[in-house]
Amino acid sequence: MKFVIPAIAFLAVSSLLVTGCSATARQNGTYIEEQGYSYRYIAFITDDAVQKISTVLPPAKTQIRLSNTAELDPRDYFGRSLMEGLRQHGFSATTGTPDEDSSFLPLTYALSNLDKNPGKFHVVINIGSMQFTRLYSANAGKIVPASVWSVRR
């Protein structure tokens, strides 16, 4: 019983953080502190995200367009990696201005540190009306999921 109450409190606080952060995550970008930054972390998060998206949306039938920007910033490794990963898994993923009759789902994303902690990461990916969020923890050069995927439809 002593373990159940802290676990419930942790889940409640985590879900509030995820929900609060996800409401503001409409600008694309990688917003992480430079200390503790590792391309391996970004690659792990990208692969994990693409795997989850592939289980929810049908890759060969889903067209995705990056929103809020005409092209990716060359320094935004997560954004470039995410778009490439989606393409490799069979999604039609593009940037640029859509045609008026476009059936492409809009994509926005944000990867940031949780509470300015270089070892805690939070990812939010919005595709159409769906939102994918997850927390990650990095320590001693390794990164692991710190929560389950939250998918809101």
pLDDT in tens, the chain (153 residues): 554 444 444 444 444 444 444 444 456 777 776 655 678 899 999 999 999 999 999 999 999 999 877 788 888 889 999 999 999 999 999 987 766 667 899 999 999 988 777 789 999 999 999 999 999 999 888 999 999 999 999
Instruction: Indicate yes or no: pTM above 0.75.
Output: yes
Which pLDDT score, from 0 to 100, does residue 114 have? 83
Which pLDDT score, from 0 to 100, does residue 95 have? 86
Give me 90's structure tokens: 């069979």
Which pLDDT score, from 0 to 100, does residue 6 have? 46
Which pLDDT score, from 0 to 100, does residue 37 have? 63
Cα separation, 60 vs 148, in Å, equals: 25
Which pLDDT score, from 0 to 100, does residue 69 have? 76
Which pLDDT score, from 0 to 100, does residue 38 have? 74
User: Among positive and negative, which fits the CA dihedral 100, 104, 105, 109?
Assistant: negative
Which pLDDT score, from 0 to 100, does residue 22 have? 44
Cα–Cα nearest to 14, from 99, 142, 110, 136: 136
Cα–Cα nearest to 129, from 112, 108, 110: 108
The terminus-to-terminus CA distance of the chain in angstroms comes to 33
